[in-house]
Structure 1
Amino acid sequence: MPSASITIDSNAAVAEIDRRIFGAFVEHLGRCVYDGIYEPGHEQADENGFRRDVTALVKELGATTIRYPGGNFVSGYRWEDGVGPRDKRPVRRDLAWHSLENNQVGLNEFATWLKEVDSELMLAVNLGTRGILEALDLLEYTNHPSGTALSDLRAKHGYPEPWGVKMWCLGNEMDGPWQTGYMTADDYGKLAARTGQAMKAAEKDLELVICGSSGSAMPTFGEWERTVLEHAYEHVDYISCHAYYQERGGDLDSYLASAADMRYFIETVVATADHVKHRRKSDKTIMLSFDEWNIWYLDEHHESDEVNDEWRIAPRQLEDVYSVADAVVFGSLLMTLLENHDRVRSASLAQLVNVIAPIMTEPGGAAWRQTTFFPFSVTSRLACGRVLRPQVTTASVTSKVHGENAVVDCVATAGDENAAVFLFNRGREAVDVTIDVASLGRERIDEAVTLWDEDVYAKNTKDDPERVGLKPLDATLAEGRLTVRLEPVSWSALNLA
């Protein structure tokens, strides 16, 4: 049987954990909001129309920040449509997803719900079809305490206290020709700089995210980041990264190596941002906000007719059903975000409910966990303190797309009370792993779970919602040495106390 050895040094710290790394994303797309988190007629609906069963699952998932309201949706959104009396809110066409938006959920309803799930709001402003003034108006309505036209309007709407939103996205995927109002890097960089300057003049402690590339395959990748940061470097704090992965053509080995592309993405954006920093002789370091990442079978959706001209409210769109293989790759991507946490300080799993999501619902029916729910919920719950970068000695496996990659990946975290170890086996055989954890000073295993199945394509569905779940992991700890058997194509986690 193949083997691997790992050493975890408590001094090999990447960074202190910023809980924003466990963020998620809610867009007014498909059934994410309507028939997802919000369904007033459901037997589980609370007094505000939000489903209690979904709220409970979101809390269990452990999403710490929620990016809202888009996404492509935001580039055509008028935030004013979603505030005030519901019976006076207009129905609008959403050009991004060719559907109708009835605006029954807006800023105030969503921010109220976030208090129920203990999440921080991360707001995006529309720089596709709107601009500086509209961004400033939204900021005033959202954050100013009182005594101005828009803060008093918020109070009139029933929300006297400001929402205190700190993190703001300056548009969304403005490099993409699918985006309403997309721009060249030069035009967007100038607009983002002016918008950022104005917003920070209103509230100096805001944290602003400028749009990076929509993916590493974009023809302008790298050059886009350089250009927009040349214009806006001193006015922003983060640059966004978006990446989605899927298995193509039955090439499971390449799919299992998807984290190699995410690492390439991160390294390229970091190098570009630091180049601009040094060229401008700036004292500030730009961090990365990986505010869209997930498994998404985009090819299949492009071939379908689910985005069409029927102009429906909350149509079924992008409702991928995830397999064990999808969840295992998902877990490896989350590990990659953690191992680069010195620069990736914020991340948003896209999306939260129904739309390429870890949580699924049926109108008037049940809510259940997808396979991808488990790596996220366990990592968010166990990770604490500092991220540690282990030394891993293992064999490699070759894939057509990503070349050679280690069979076993590992990342760890350590806090005052516990240490956590996360492991990924991308190989097709079980691996016996020995881990030196002596420097962590832990004496027992409090929890050891793994996600794997003899059928790597097993899924949780409406008819069989508990087909896939976490299983006990075969592990022992003695004299500072952790011994673990990793099943093939698996993701695992251990909590050491």
Structure 2
Amino acid sequence: MANEVVKAKMTVDKDFKIAEVDKRIYGSFIEHLGRAVYGGIYEPDHETADEQGFREDVIKLVKELQVPIVRYPGGNMVSAYNWEDGVGPKQDRPRRLELAWRVTETNEIGTNEFMDWAKKVNTDVMMAVNLGTRGIDAARNLIEYMNHPGGTYWSDLRRSHGSELPYNIKTWCLGNEMDGPWQVGHKTADEYGRLAAETAKAMRLVDPTIELVSCGSSNSNMPTFPEWEAKTLEHTYEFADYISLHQYYGNRSHDTANFIAKSLDMDNFIQTVIATCDYMKAKKRSKKTINLSFDEWNVWFHSREQDKEIEPWTIAPPQLEDVYTFEDAILVGSMLNTMLKHADRVKMACMAQLVNVIAPIMTETGGGIFKQTIFYPYYYTSVYGRGIALSPVVHSPKYDSKDFTDVPYLDTSVVYNEVKNEVVIFATNRHLEMPLQVDIDIRSFEGYNVVEHVVLEKDNVKATNSLKKEQIKPHYNGESYVQNGNVTTILPKLSWNMIRLNKR
């Protein structure tokens, strides 16, 4: 082990339970944006395309991630989208000017095709309705089309389009980022709250079993945050089950220490939304608790300048194609940790997005596919972070950065899988120069031993992956051992780690 290390301690106990992790916390997002759909999941001329034109190499990687739910069809795009344009015979579908991203939408892929793709990758769908240019009528027609068995106009139309059985979509977003002035049909909090409540009532009359997500703030820097949450919940509290949070981070100043601390901002965002929801619960004398759907989150800043060069009204141009660095993967790992630490209230989350557009998976049109740096923390946390989130007691040295004080070098989350007799520790060492030795008290897990210690590390924080070269991928040579109810582990400098313990 290294001679010079920084030291930290933590205690992991099976009784320190936060909550059962809702698997939907590992969800993702496909919007009709850039090459997410056309050239991403769908490319009929590709050598791996199946009979419906879906790329099977993409399907394989999405299945590898075990994505439990995917939000669709937007995003900003949904706020001016007529869902009827994307159903029925393809040759009859209109081409539209898509106002959110100023491209031409061919509608070659629509609701039914996307539902077929979702089935192929074993995921559920979180469907968003348009509360920008439309409202109650379009939403109640869509849910009738999707969820009603038959014998009515819209349900029989679905059956005529080849889907005899209803899709039974259970999770619905009441619009998207309606607090944002950039949104087509942007509304004040009261305007949105009233429309969302009335739309929710109509949708629930069609299908009382659905869950609904009310629009929260588009990010924690919005001037209306958190007043937007309080005002909209005045109207939607009775009808919504969740409120949404969206947040993206970037590193324009190239300050790594500050950038990798931004998960602290995410934590504060979550805590503020929880506090606002619980204030409304008290105000309304309600017994119901509103949970959180963090249905857009990621790093996003690399592609913003090149996106300004895109010619308007082209079809599926490359947009938001961030090529992720090693330090981006470090922050993504900590963002996942942050949501697991709030597993009692964060029940759903969607990494935005899944393919090509600010995504863990990148494809070349007509060519290959590769895993971005951020693929790996997402993959390991999704696959192994299932079970009960535990609250470890952590003692870590700290540092200050430009925007944050008392940033712990050790950022961690812990998941206990009782069925598999497995404890999984996800740990980031934020120290840019020194390894971190962590002594972990696991006395309540007698007989547990280290199965594997996966490490993501790289000296060059700006290193990226590409089709030609995968510079960032995990290795399995992490240093961890158990002795007398204690795990001693060495986390390399600036690294993301997964330590898996099992009772054989």
2:359 to 357, 360, 368: 357
Distance 1:259 1:129 in 2: 34
- Counterpart secondary structure, 2:180: coil
- Write out aligned runs for 1:40-51 (5 A): 40-51=44-55
User: In structure 2, what residue type is equivalent to 1:496?
Assistant: L
Contact 1:96–1:180 at 8 Å: present in 2 too?
yes
**Corresponding residue for 1:469?**
473
Residue type at the aligned position of 2:45: G
Cα deviation, residue 307, structure 1: 4.5
Q: Could you tell me whether the CA contact under 8 Å between 2:307 and 2:319 is conserved in 1?
A: no
What letter corresponds to residue 222 of structure 1 in structure 2?
Answer: P
Deviation at 1:480, TM superposition (A): 2.1
Aligned to 2:391: 389
Do 2:146 and 2:168's aligned partners in 1 also have CA atoms closer than 8 Å? yes
Contact 2:387/2:417 (<8 A) preserved: yes
Is 1:233 matched with 2:237?
yes
What is the CA distance between 1:184 and its match in structure 2? 0.4
Structure 1 position 36 matched with structure 2 position 40? yes
Superposition pairs of residues 274-289 of structure 1, within 5 angstroms: 274-289=278-293
Q: Which of 125, 135, 146 is 2:139 aligned to? A: 135
Q: Give the letter for the 1:75 counterpart.
A: S
Distance 1:306 1:437, change over 3 A: farther
Q: Which residue of 1 aligns with 2:248?
A: 244
What is the identity, as a one-letter code, of the residue corresponding to 1:107? T
Q: How big is each residue's C-alpha offset from its partner over 1:86-134, in whole Å with a ceiling of 9 and x where there is no partner? A: 1111111111001011111111111111111111110000000000010
Q: Please tell me whether the aligned partners of residues 35 and 319 of structure 2 are also in contact (alpha carbons under 8 angstroms).
A: yes
TM-score normalised by length of structure 2: 0.96
Deviations 1:410-437 (A, max 9, x none): 1111112111111011111211111112
The 5-angstrom pairing of residues 321-470 of structure 1 reads 321-416=323-418, 417=420, 418-428=422-432, 429-464=434-469, 466-470=470-474
Q: Does residue 493 of the first structure (1) align with residue 495 of the second (2)?
A: no
Alpha-carbon separation, structure 1, partners of 2:200 and 2:335 = 30
In structure 2, the CA distance between the partners of 1:286 and 1:484, relative to structure 1 (3 Å rule), is same
3-state SS, counterpart of residue 193 of structure 2 = helix
Deviation at 1:294, TM superposition (A): 0.2
Greater CA drift, 73-82 or 471-480:
471-480
Matched with 1:26 is: 30
Q: 1:304 to 1:108 in 2, by over 3 A?
A: closer
User: Does the 8 Å CA contact 2:307/2:320 hold for their aligned counterparts?
Assistant: no
Provide the rounded CA distance (Å) in 2 between the counterparts of 1:46 and 1:402.
49
Counterpart of 1:493 in structure 2: which amino acid?
A: M
- Aligned AA (1:122): M
Separation in 1 of the partners of 2:447 and 2:107?
51
Q: Give the paired residue count.
A: 494
> What letter matches 2:230 in structure 1?
R
| Correspondence list, 1:17-166, <5 A | 17-166=21-170
Q: Structure 2 regions of 5+ residues with no counterpart?
A: none
User: Which residue, 301, 304, 310 being the options, matches 1:301?
Assistant: 304
- Say what the alpha-carbon RMSD is for the aligned residues: 1.1
Distance 1:327 1:167 in 2: 29
CA contact under 8 A between 1:84 and 1:157: conserved in structure 2?
Answer: yes
Letter of the structure 1 residue corresponding to residue 316 of structure 2: A
Q: Distance in 2 between the 1:273 and 1:81 partners?
A: 36
Task: Judge conservation of contact 2:325–2:461 (CA < 8 Å) in 1.
Answer: yes
Separation (CA, whole Å) in 2 of partners of 1:297 and 1:106: 29
CA distance in 2, matches of 1:97, 1:306: 13
CA contact (8 A) 1:8 1:390 kept: yes
Q: Please give the secondary structure, in 1, of the residue aligned with 2:238.
A: helix
The amino acid across from 2:417 in the alignment is: G
Unaligned runs of at least 5 residues, structure 1: none
Alignment match of 2:260 (pick from 256, 262, 282): 256
- Tell me the amino acid that sits aligned with residue 4 of structure 1: A
Stretches of 4+ moved more than 3 A in 1?
A: none
Letter in 1 for 2:362: M
**Aligned-residue offset at 1:304:** 4.5
Please give the alpha-carbon distance, in whole angstroms, between the structure 1 residues aligned to 2:447 and 2:457.
26
Taking structure 1 as the reference length, what is the TM-score of the superposition? 0.98
Quick check: 1:478 aligned with 2:483?
yes
> 1:484 is matched by which residue type in structure 2?
T
Q: Distance in 2 between matches of 1:454 and 1:144?
A: 55
Measured against aligned partners, the alpha-carbon deviations of 1:366-386 in whole angstroms (never above 9, x if no partner) come to 011000000011011111220
How far apart are the structure 2 equivalents of 1:281 and 1:126? 31
1:168-247 matches, cutoff 5 A: 168-247=172-251
Using the TM superposition, name which of 127-136 and 431-440 deviates more.
431-440
Relative to structure 1, is the Cα distance of residues 307 and 238 closer, same or farther in structure 2, using a 3 angstrom cutoff?
farther
Task: Quote the residue 1:10 is aligned against.
Answer: 14
CA contact (8 A) 1:98 1:307 kept: no
Q: Which secondary structure does the structure 2 equivalent of 1:439 belong to?
A: coil
Deviates most, 182-191 or 243-252: 243-252
CA drift at 1:444: 2.1
Between the aligned partners of 2:310 and 2:78, the Cα distance in structure 1 is 17
> How far apart, CA to CA, are the structure 2 residues paired with 1:339 and 1:441?
24
Q: CA deviation at 1:308?
A: 4.4
1:263 partner SS = helix
Q: Per the alignment, in what secondary structure is the counterpart of residue 24 of structure 1?
A: strand
In 2, distance between residues paired with 1:235 and 1:153? 28
Q: Structure 1 residues 303, 226: closer, same or farther in 2, change over 3 A?
A: farther
SS in 2 for 1:181: coil
Q: How many angstroms apart in 2 are the aligned matches of 1:228 and 1:185?
A: 5
Post-superposition Cα deviations, 1:138-184, rounded to whole Å, max 9, x if no partner, equal 00000011111111111111110111100000000000011000000
Corresponding residue for 1:316?
318
- Structure 2 contact 148–206 (Cα < 8 Å) conserved: no
Change in CA separation of 1:307 and 1:136 when aligned onto 2, cut-off 3 Å = farther
- Secondary structure of the 1:471 match is coil
1:320 maps to a residue whose letter is: D
How far apart in 2 are the matches of 1:316 and 1:38?
A: 14
Tell me the distance in 2 between the aligned counterparts of 1:455 and 1:431.
19
Aligned residue identity for 1:264: N
Query: Counterpart of 1:196 in 2: which secondary structure?
Result: helix
Q: Report the residue type matching 2:131 in the other structure.
A: L
